[in-house]
Amino acid sequence: MTARIIDGRACAAQLRAEYPTRIRSLHEQAGVTPGLAVLLVGDDPASAVYVSNKVRACDAVGIRSFTFCLPTTITHAELLGRIVELNNDDRIHGVLVQLPLPPHIDMREVLATIAVDKDVDGFHLYNVGGLVTGGTVFSPCTPYGVVKLLESEAIPIEGQNVVVVGASNIVGKPMALMLMARNATVAICHAKTRDLAQFTILADILVVAAGVPNLILPQMVKTGAVVIDVGINRLPDGRIVGDVDFEGVAKKASAITPVPGGVGPMTVTMLLDNTIRSAERMTAAAVGLWRPSSL
């Protein structure tokens, strides 16, 4: 078997092509342009690259972005103050704090300070809790991107055995919850899982987000499985690879995402989607069509 390559760039481009129309219609109907505020604390080069990618993606579809580069020395209280200002700024529909934050900043409090209605990264406790109970306003971008990718490839989720490798708060756990909400049977594995292969071999859909190159080898994958590789690893020779032995596993899987060009482009796309949707729901609320969560 040779796997179909799931083209995340093409899927992302198709979704992004719809955004300028949605943005134009918001502007024509209500004079509103979606706005995203991105706060970058400190001078981590990888974070700076992620932020500039997000800003470029916003520009390309017509979202106004506001980048705030804040010094590592910013106090916890000052950072919270900046977030509160942005929560109250009508030009802003999404507030995103680039992670990781310096150690003196309490990340949980920072994320809890972002207004739920502007939490386009989906990391506020309310949005996280909503993944368990229903009622999430914004889903976290990477797992949301994986779901969109599966949907666009018409890969059924309901009733499938899904194994998620990786249990972080930003990828693995929300991924598992989102797939469970779509009636998959989900197992979560992590660094302390004994004999990873005995789980992965059962997966109809295997989602890997561990940050370990070549973690998933062909003998760990069921013939015909769908393999979604979220991992992004830079090898010593500079190459970017995922967590899956792509060449080997592609001979056994029915469909597989490459790295780069798989999940990565979908993550930023979902950030754009969440930001536009935030502007749409705030605009609808302003004209009395419905009320967003007051939390």
Q: Would you please indicate which residues are annotated as catalytic (active-site) residues?
A: 54, 98, 121
Percent helix, strand, coil in the chain, to 5, is: 45, 15, 40
**If you search the block for the tokens 């040779």, which residue do you land on?**
2
Nearer to ligand NAD, 112 or 170 (CB): 170
Nearer to ligand NAD, 231 or 258 (CB): 231
Nearer to ligand NAD, 184 or 271 (CB): 271
In the complex, what is the shortest distance from the CB of residue 268 to ligand NAD, in angstroms, rounded to a whole number?
A: 8
Alpha-carbon distance of 123 to 127, in angstroms, equals: 6
Write out the residues near ligand NAD by the rule CB under 6 A: 142, 165-168, 170-172, 189-191, 193, 196, 209-212, 215, 230-233, 263-264, 267
Helical residues (DSSP H) of 17-44, grouped into ranges: 19-30
In the complex, what is the shortest distance from the CB of residue 230 to ligand NAD, in angstroms, rounded to a whole number?
A: 5
Nearer to ligand NAD, 229 or 280 (CB): 229
Answer yes or no: are the C-beta atoms of 71 and 39 closer than 8 Å.
Answer: no
In the complex, what is the shortest distance from the CB of residue 87 to ligand NAD, in angstroms, rounded to a whole number?
A: 25
φ/ψ of 207, rounded to 5, equals -110, 125
DSSP string over 133-170: HS--SS--HHHHHHHHHHHHTT---TT-EEEEE---TT
Answer yes or no: are the C-beta atoms of 94 and 269 closer than 8 Å.
Answer: no
In the complex, what is the shortest distance from the CB of residue 99 to ligand NAD, in angstroms, rounded to a whole number?
A: 9
